[in-house]
């Protein structure tokens, strides 16, 4: 089963399925990636072909396996304080203008394993003192969310964290936990994680936000999917709030409901 091959027709079935479920456009160069990641599921179920695995998913009788498939085909590259100028904008422009008395609420809408959400948490803890703040992280992938909730990372992930933040907000592991660190509990207590599919309308249970980070996820979407995702999250962005996207992304031609503040940073009127 380790030598399972995929036909063009079978690959096209999975291209359509992952696009329908997660909005991800898998081009033909991703065929080997799909075989490598899903081949293990064929072995697990002792299935003879990718067509038989697809039929199993399509029956609707295995929702947990559908989630496994989505998790395996989702790219989750992230690291602490990625694209530093966005954090400087948060510090210099957003924090000083927060609404008096109300918690400053930030949504890491494609949070992966939590590094972005906890980077924001460190900055807000440092700049706001005793003032209230809250962070929500979300992702479609349950596997990375499980890691995010723990706030537990290898020391190799510390690159990008300012040394003073490392001292104040990161607890280095000892003995059996040596080589790892844990995000301080006072930050984890203010950071919640949810599984969300941005292809669907966002449940009001997560509340409204002053800032939404939607970085380095739309590069995997075609223009109609980008427009759909932005349309779904905008109701959760407060008037005057900011949407921040990745440096390789743009909202040109995607929405006219936001004002450009600077490249990759937009404001809701």
How far is 26 from 99, CA to CA, in rounded Å?
A: 42
Q: What is the pLDDT of residue 125?
A: 97
Scan for tokens 């918690």, then name that residue: 103
Confidence of residue 1 (pLDDT cuts 50, 70, 90): very low
How far is 243 from 236, CA to CA, in rounded Å?
A: 11
- The percent of residues above 90 in pLDDT, for the chain, comes to 80
Confidence of residue 265 (pLDDT cuts 50, 70, 90): very high
Q: What is the pLDDT of residue 130?
A: 85
Per domain, the residue ranges of the chain are 8-73, 84-267
**200-236, pLDDT tens digit by residue?**
999 889 999 999 999 999 988 999 999 999 999 999 9
How far is 179 from 171, CA to CA, in rounded Å?
A: 11
Compute the C-alpha angle 115/180/87, nearest 5°. Answer: 25
Neighbouring residues of 58: CB distance < 8 A, sequence distance ≥ 6: 17
In our burial notation (b when 16+ CB lie closer than 10 A, e otherwise), range 34-68 reads: bbeebbebbeeeebeebeebbebbeeeeeeeebbb
The CATH architecture annotation of domain 8-73 reads Orthogonal Bundle (1.10)
Q: What is the pLDDT of residue 3?
A: 60
147 as an active site residue: the answer is no
Of residues 37, 41, 147, 190, which has the active-site annotation? 37
**2 or 52, higher pLDDT:** 52
Of residues 82, 105, 139, 236, which has the active-site annotation? 139
> If you average pLDDT over every residue of the chain, what do you get?
93
99 as an active site residue: the answer is no
User: Quick one: tokens of 267?
Assistant: 């404001």
How far is 189 from 111, CA to CA, in rounded Å?
A: 16
12, 52 in Cβ contact below 8 A?
Answer: no
End-to-end Cα distance, the chain: 55
Q: Residue 2 above 60 pLDDT?
A: no
Which of 86, 90, 79 is closest to 114 using CA atoms? 79
How far is 97 from 94, CA to CA, in rounded Å?
A: 5
Which of 83, 150, 81 is closest to 121 using CA atoms? 81
Q: Mean pLDDT across the stretch 129-158? A: 94
Pick the CATH number of 84-267 from 3.50.50.60, 3.20.20.140, 3.40.50.300, 3.40.50.150: 3.40.50.150
């Amino acid at each position: 089963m380790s030598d399972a091959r995929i036909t063009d027709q079978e690959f096209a079935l999975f291209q359509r399925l992952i696009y329908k479920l997660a909005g991800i456009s898998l081009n033909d160069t991703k065929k080997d990636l799909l075989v490598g990641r899903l081949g293990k599921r064929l072995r697990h179920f002792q299935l003879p072909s990718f067509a038989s695995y697809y039929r199993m998913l399509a029956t609707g009788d295995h929702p947990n396996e559908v989630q496994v498939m989505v998790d395996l085909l989702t790219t989750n590259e992230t690291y602490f304080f990625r694209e530093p100028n966005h954090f400087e904008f948060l510090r210099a422009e957003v924090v000083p203008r927060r609404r008096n008395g109300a918690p400053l609420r930030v949504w890491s809408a494609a949070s992966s394993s939590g590094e972005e959400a906890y980077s924001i948490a460190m900055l807000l803890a440092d700049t706001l003192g005793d003032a209230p703040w809250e962070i929500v992280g979300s992702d479609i992938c349950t596997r990375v969310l499980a890691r995010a909730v723990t706030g537990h990372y290898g020391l190799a992930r510390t690159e990008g964290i300012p040394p003073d933040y490392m001292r104040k907000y990161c607890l280095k592991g000892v003995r059996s936990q040596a080589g790892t660190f844990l995000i301080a509990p006072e930050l984890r207590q203010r950071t919640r994680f949810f599984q969300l599919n941005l292809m669907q309308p966002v449940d009001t249970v997560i509340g409204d936000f002053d800032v939404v980070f939607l970085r380095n996820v739309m590069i995997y979407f075609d223009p109609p999917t980008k427009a759909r995702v932005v349309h779904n999250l905008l109701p959760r962005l407060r008037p005057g709030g900011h949407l921040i996207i990745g440096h390789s992304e743009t909202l040109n031609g995607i929405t006219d409901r936001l004002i450009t503040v600077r490249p990759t940073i937009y404001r809701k009127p």
